[in-house]
Structure 1
Amino acid sequence: MIGLPAALFWAYATGSTFALSAARQLQFLERRAADRTGLPALLAPRLVSRAANPYLCLTLLYAAVLLVPTGLFLMWQNPSWSTMHIADGHRGVWAGFPLLYAGGVVLAALLGFLLAQALCLVGAGYWAYLNCVGGSFLLFGTLVHGWDGQGYRRFLTTDGAALRAWPEDSVVNNVLRFLTSGTFLTLLFLGAAVIGTMLLMEIGWLAEGWLLPGGAQDRKVPRFLAVAVAGAGLHGLPLAGAVLASTLVRFLGYPAGLTVFAAVAGTLLLPRRSPVRGLYGLVGLPKAHWRATSDLVPATRPTPA
C-alpha cells in the first residue's frame, strides 16, 4: 500500500523490526533447539528447520497477505500514485511490475528478518536495531525527498497533472486536495489494517519477550514507556533523519549535505555512550549471544535410558 520505489524498503524494514521485536523469543528457540536435540550447541540450530520458526512464518504471512495484496490493489486503482507518477496510467506500467512487486516484497521482508535475527542471535542486538533504522530511513527518505527532491510532492498528489501543477498553488491547498481524494480514503482504510496489524505484532512480540527469564530485568522503564521509546526509535527517529537529510541536501547540495548528515547520524548512533544506544538499553531487548540464555533456561536434555 505504498509507492513502488519505497515498497521494498518498507518490506525490508518491517521484516527487520519483527525479528528485533521477537529477539528474546528467537534466542530461546535456538536454546531449546540445542537442548531437545542433544547435539552440540553450535551444531543444533543448523539442523533444526527454519520453517518451524513461528515468528518467521508470521512475518512472511504478513507480507504475503497484507503488504502484497494492498500494494497490488493500489497499483490497479491508481497506477500513477503507486509508481510515484513515473507512469500516467495502466498502459505505462510494465506487465512484469506486479510480478516483481509481489515476489520482491516477500523476499525483502524475508531478508530483513533473517539478517536482524542473525544479529540478535550473536548478541549484536543494537546492530539489528540499526539495521531496522537503515531500512526505515531509506523508506522515509524516498517518500520525503525521493530521487529528484520531489518525494513528498509525489506522495501527496494523486496524478501526474497534480504533481506538475503543485507550484501553482499553496502547500496547504495541495495537501487538502490530496486528503479529500479517493486515493487518500483508500490509504486510510487499508492503512488501518496494514499498519495496525504491524504495530500489534511489534508491540505484542516485544511484550511477550518481557515475560521470558531476564526480560523484566533488562527492561529499565515501565512497559508503556518502553513501548513509546521503542516506537520513537524504530519509526520516529528514521523519519526525523530523512527530514534532516533532505533539508541538508536542499541547502548544501548532495556532497556536503550527506557528509554533514553522516557526521550527525554517526555521533548519535555509533558511540558506546551515544544517546540512542542509551535509550535502546531501556527497552529490555537481549544484549548477549543466544547461548548466554543457558543460564536462565532449565536443561531439558533427555536423560539416557
Structure 2
Amino acid sequence: MIQIQAALFWAYAIGATFALSAGRQLQVWERINAGEGPRTRSRAANPYLALTALFAAVLMVPTGLFLLWQNPAWATMHVADGHDGVWAGFVLFYAGGIPVAAIIGFLVAQGLVLVGAGYWAYLQCVGGYFLLFGTLVHGWDGRGYERFFSPGARDFAGWRQDSVVNHVLDFLTSGTFLALLVFGAAVIGTMLLTEIGWLMEGWSLPGADEDRTVHRFLAIAIAAAGVYGLPFAGALVASVLVRLLGGWIGLPLFAVLAGLTLLSRRSPVRWLYGLVGVPHQHWRADLDQDPDREGHETGVTSDRSA
C-alpha cells in the first residue's frame, strides 16, 4: 500500500521489527529445537517467520497492487503517468519482492538476536524505516514529499504553481488517500497489534519481565518512538542537510551524526533500548525441563549477566 520505490524498504523493516518483537520467543524456539531433527529445526517450522511471510503476502502485496492499478502515477512516484507507462516487470517485482524482503529482514534480525546482538537487530529496523521515510520525504531528487502528496500526474507537474497547503488538502480529499486510510487500518493496524502482542508474549515468559524496567505502556511507547519516530526524524534531518549543504557534504555529515547517536556506548538510544525489555544479549527462559537435563537446560541468564 506504499509507493513502489519505498515498498521493499518497508517490507524489510517490518520483517526485522517482527523478529525483534518476538526475540525472546525465537531464542526459546531455537533452544527447544536445538537437539531435534532437521524437520523441526527447518525455517519453515518457525511460526513467527511463517506469520511474517503470511502478513506480507496477504496484506501488503494485494493492497499495493490495488493502489498500483487504481493510481499508477502515484504508486510509481509519478515515474509513470498511467497504466501504459507501467512496465510489467514492476508488478512482478512488487508482488514477489515484498514477501522476500520481509523474510530477509526477519531472518537477518533473527540471526542477530540468536547470537546475542539484539541491539544490532534493532538497528535493522531503524535502517529499513529510515530508507522508507527518506524515500518518501526526500526521494532521489529532493521531491519525495511532492510526489507523495500529489495524487495525480497533473498535480505533481503543477506543484510549484500552488501552495504546499493546498496540495496537501487536495491529497487528503482524494480517492488515493481514502484507499490509504482503509488499507492502512488493516495493514498498519495488524502490524502494530502483532508487534505489541509478540512483545507482551515475550514479557510473559518466566524471568523475561525482570529486564523491563518501565511500565508496559511506557515500554511500548518507547519502542514505537525508537522504531518509527527516530528514523522519521533522521530522514527529516538528512533531507535538510542535503538541501542546505548538498549531497556530498550533507550525507557524510548525517552519517557521522547518526553513528554518534546510535553506536556510542553512552548513546541515549542504547539506554532507552535497555528499558523496553527486549533481548540485548543471550537470554534463556526458565522452562520446565526434564530433571536429568536441568543442569544444562534450565535457568535464567539475564541480558545484564550474559
Q: Which residue of 2 aligns with 1:160?
A: 153
The yes-or-no answer on 1:78 pairing with 2:59 is no
The yes-or-no answer on 1:250 pairing with 2:243 is yes
For 2:284, what is the secondary structure of its paired residue? helix
Taking the aligned partners of 2:113 and 2:235, their CA distance within structure 1 comes to 26
1:48 to 41, 46, 61: 41
Deviation at 1:287, TM superposition (A): 2.0
Q: Deviations over 1:83-123 (max 9, x none)?
A: 00000000000112211111100100010000000000000
Q: Which residue of 2 aligns with 1:180?
A: 173
What root-mean-square deviation, in Å, do the aligned CA atoms of Structure 1 and Structure 2 show?
1.6
Map residues 87-166 of structure 1 onto 2, 5 A cutoff.
87-166=80-159
Q: Deviations over 1:149-202 (max 9, x none)?
A: 000000000122111111111111110011001111111111110000000001
Q: Deviations over 1:121-147 (max 9, x none)?
A: 000000000011001000000000000
Name the aligned partner's letter for residue 98 of structure 2: V
Q: Is the 8 A contact 2:39 2:45 kept in 1?
A: no
Q: Is the 8 A contact 2:33 2:40 kept in 1?
A: no
Deviation at 1:255, TM superposition (A): 1.4
Q: Which residue of 2 aligns with 1:282?
A: 275
Name the aligned partner's letter for residue 44 of structure 2: A
Taking the aligned partners of 1:195 and 1:301, their CA distance within structure 2 comes to 44
- Structure 2: gaps of 5 or more residues: 294-306
Q: Deviations over 1:53-95 (max 9, x none)?
A: 1100100000000000000000000000000000000000011
Name the aligned partner's letter for residue 2 of structure 1: I
- Residues 293 and 174 (structure 1 numbering): CA distance in 2 closer, same or farther, change over 3 Å? same
Q: Is the 8 A contact 1:30 1:45 kept in 2?
A: no
Q: Which residue of 2 aligns with 1:65?
A: 58
Deviation at 1:302, TM superposition (A): 8.5
Name the aligned partner's letter for residue 61 of structure 2: V
Q: Which residue of 2 aligns with 1:215?
A: 208
- Structure 1: gaps of 5 or more residues: 38-43
Moved more, 261-270 or 235-244: 261-270
Q: Is the 8 A contact 1:144 1:246 kept in 2?
A: yes
Name the aligned partner's letter for residue 299 of structure 1: Q
Taking the aligned partners of 1:21 and 1:47, their CA distance within structure 2 comes to 22
Q: Which runs of 4+ in 1 moved over 6 A?
A: 44-47
Deviation at 1:45, TM superposition (A): 8.0
The yes-or-no answer on 1:269 pairing with 2:262 is yes
Name the aligned partner's letter for residue 5 of structure 1: Q
2:195 to 202, 207, 210: 202
Deviation at 1:8, TM superposition (A): 0.4
For 2:275, what is the secondary structure of its paired residue? coil
For 2:139, what is the secondary structure of its paired residue? coil
Q: Which residue of 2 aligns with 1:3?
A: 3
Taking the aligned partners of 1:299 and 1:78, their CA distance within structure 2 comes to 56
TM-score of the superposed pair, with normalisation by structure 1: 0.93
Name the aligned partner's letter for residue 160 of structure 1: A
Name the aligned partner's letter for residue 287 of structure 2: V
Q: Deviations over 1:2-51 (max 9, x none)?
A: 0000000000000000000000000000111125x3xxxxxx78971211
For 1:163, what is the secondary structure of its paired residue? helix
TM-score of the superposed pair, with normalisation by structure 2: 0.93
For 1:293, what is the secondary structure of its paired residue? coil
Q: Is the 8 A contact 2:16 2:107 kept in 1?
A: yes
Q: Which residue of 1 aligns with 2:34?
A: 34
For 1:132, what is the secondary structure of its paired residue? helix
Q: How many residues align?
A: 293
Deviation at 1:263, TM superposition (A): 1.5
Taking the aligned partners of 1:24 and 1:180, their CA distance within structure 2 comes to 43
What is the percent sequence identity of the aligned residues?
Answer: 67
Taking the aligned partners of 1:249 and 1:149, their CA distance within structure 2 comes to 9
Higher relative contact order (CA 8 A, sep 6+): 1
